[in-house]
C-alpha cells in the first residue's frame, strides 16, 4: 500500500514539473501589470466596511507554483491580485481578506508544489451625507491638511500625538464633541515620533498611562479617526492583541494585530479591561493584514519627564476603570492642521 502511494505521488510530481505554464498561474506577474499601473495599486485595504459603502461583490485569486526551485507567492502578491480584481469591478477598497494554503498533497493534486488562494470583498465608497458639523470631513484633503488622533493625558489640557502628525503644521486645532479648539505644539521628538500638544480645554477626563509594560497576547483596544476625509469625523475603534514586544528593528515599539489606518496615528492603544494606556498608535503596513505598531508607554513616560509634564500613575479614572468605551470617548480627539507650503 505504501509503495503504491509513493508511486502515485511521484507520478503527480513528475506531471507538475513537466507542465509548462506560468509560474504562479493566475496573478499580476504575467497578466495584470497594466491594471496595477493604471490605478489598482491605489486601492486601500481595510478590515471593516463603512456603513456608507456600496458592496460590489466578492473577488478572489489563486497562485500555483509549478517550479520547485522558484519562490512561493507572498501575501503581497495575492493582495495585489485582489486589488486588480476589485479595480476591474470599479471598487476603491477591499476588506475581509482571507488566505488559504492548500496542504502539500492538495497542492500536488493540482500539479503544484504550492497552491494559495485568497478572497476578499470589494466595495466603493458612496458620497458622504451632508452634516451640520463645524468641520467637514470632505474638506480634510491630504494635500492641504495633516489629520490624525490625539488624546488627553491629564486635566491640564495636555494631549499626546505623533510627531509625524504635527510636523509642518500651522493653525493647529482639535475637534472634540462637535467643537473646534485651538492647539499649540509644545514639544516634538522626531526619533520617538511623539508630540506634546496644549489646548485651552482643560478636560477633567483623561487616559491613565499604565505603570506596567504590555505583554504578549494582552488584549487591546485602539481609538482614533482613520481615513477621516472619507469615513467621517466620528470616533472609531478596533481591537486585537499584542503580537510582539518590539517593532521592526525597533525596541521602542510594540506590534499589535488591531487594524491601523491613516488617521489612527497618535491615538491611544489601551488595555481592553481597564483602559490604561499601553502604547501610542504609530503606523501600520498597507500591504499586510494585522500588522500595526505602537510607541511603548515607557518611551512616552520618558518623553513626558523630559518635558516636565506630570502624570499621576496611581490616580484612577474619574469615570472608573470599567467603562473603557466611555474613557476613550471622553479623552480622544481629532487633531488637524494646515500644512505649511
* pTM of the full structure: 0.60
Burial class of residue 319 in the structure, from the number of CB atoms within 10 Å of its CB (0-12 exposed, 13-18 middle, 19+ buried): middle
* Residue (of 336, 339, 335, 338) closest to 151 by Cα position: 335
Task: Output the pLDDT for position 38.
Answer: 63
* φ, ψ at 285 (rounded to 5°): -120, 115
Query: What confidence score (pLDDT) does residue 163 get?
Result: 95
> In this predicted structure, which of 64-68, 184-188, 190-194, 290-294 has the lowest mean pLDDT?
64-68
Residues 6+ apart with CB under 8 A from 211: 313, 314
Residue 89 confidence (pLDDT) above 80: yes
Provide the residue count of the chain: 341
Q: Residue 304's pLDDT is what?
A: 96
Q: Where are the domains of the chain?
A: 2-125, 137-339
Q: Model confidence over 307-328: pLDDT tens digits?
A: 999 876 554 444 444 588 888 9
Q: How far apart are CA 238 and CA 302, in angstroms?
A: 27
Phi, psi of 333 (to 5 degrees): -130, 160
d(CA 151, CA 149): 7
Per-residue CA distances from 123 to 44, 89, 217 (Å): 10, 9, 32
pLDDT of residue 162: 96
pLDDT band at 181 (very low <50, low <70, confident <90, very high): very high
Residues 6 or more apart whose Cβ sits within 8 Å of residue 67: 17, 23, 113
Strands (E) across the chain are located at 44-46, 53-65, 93-101, 114-125, 145-152, 158-161, 169-176, 179-189, 194-199, 219-224, 236-244, 253-256, 268-271, 277-284, 292-296, 332-339
Q: Phi-psi bin for 157: left (phi > 0), alpha (psi -120 to 50), beta?
A: left
pLDDT at 261: 87
**CATH architecture of the domain with residue range 2-125:** 2-Layer Sandwich (3.30)
137-339: CATH number? 2.40.10.120
Amino acid at each position: 500500500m505504501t509503495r503504491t502511494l509513493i508511486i502515485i505521488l511521484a507520478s503527480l510530481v513528475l506531471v507538475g514539473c513537466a507542465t509548462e505554464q506560468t509560474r504562479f498561474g493566475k496573478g499580476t506577474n504575467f497578466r495584470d501589470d497594466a491594471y496595477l499601473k493604471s490605478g489598482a495599486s491605489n486601492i486601500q485595504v481595510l478590515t471593516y466596511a463603512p456603513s456608507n459603502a456600496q458592496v460590489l461583490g466578492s473577488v478572489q485569486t489563486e497562485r500555483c507554483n509549478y517550479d520547485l526551485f522558484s519562490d512561493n507567492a507572498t501575501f503581497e502578491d495575492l493582495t495585489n491580485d485582489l486589488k486588480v480584481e476589485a479595480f476591474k469591478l470599479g471598487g476603491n477598497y477591499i476588506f475581509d481578506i482571507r488566505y488559504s494554503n492548500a496542504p502539500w498533497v492538495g497542492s500536488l493534486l493540482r500539479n503544484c508544489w504550492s497552491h494559495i488562494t485568497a478572497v476578499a470583498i470589494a466595495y466603493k465608497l458612496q458620497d458622504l451625507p451632508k452634516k451640520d458639523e463645524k468641520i467637514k470631513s470632505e474638506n480634510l484633503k491630504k494635500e492641504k491638511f495633516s489629520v490624525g488622533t490625539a488624546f488627553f493625558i491629564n486635566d491640564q489640557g495636555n494631549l499626546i500625538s505623533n510627531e509625524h502628525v504635527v510636523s509642518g503644521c500651522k493653525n493647529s486645532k482639535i475637534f472634540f464633541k462637535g467643537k473646534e479648539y485651538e492647539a499649540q505644539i509644545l514639544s516634538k521628538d522626531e526619533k520617538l515620533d511623539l508630540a506634546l500638544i496644549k489646548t485651552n480645554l482643560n478636560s477633567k477626563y483623561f487616559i491613565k498611562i499604565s505603570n506596567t509594560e504590555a505583554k504578549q497576547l494582552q488584549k487591546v483596544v485602539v481609538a482614533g479617526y482613520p481615513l477621516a476625509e472619507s469615513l467621517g469625523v466620528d470616533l472609531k475603534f478596533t481591537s486585537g492583541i499584542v503580537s510582539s514586544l518590539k517593532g521592526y528593528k525597533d525596541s521602542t515599539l510594540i506590534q499589535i494585530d488591531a487594524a491601523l489606518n491613516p488617521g489612527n496615528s497618535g491615538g491611544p492603544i489601551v488595555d481592553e479591561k481597564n483602559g490604561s494606556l499601553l502604547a501610542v498608535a504609530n503606523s501600520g503596513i498597507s500591504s499586510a493584514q494585522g500588522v500595526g505598531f505602537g510607541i511603548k508607554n515607557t518611551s512616552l513616560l520618558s518623553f513626558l519627564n523630559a518635558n516636565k509634564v506630570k502624570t499621576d500613575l496611581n490616580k484612577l479614572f474619574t469615570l472608573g476603570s470599567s467603562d473603557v468605551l466611555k474613557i476613550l470617548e471622553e479623552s480622544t480627539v481629532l487633531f488637524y492642521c494646515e500644512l505649511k507650503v
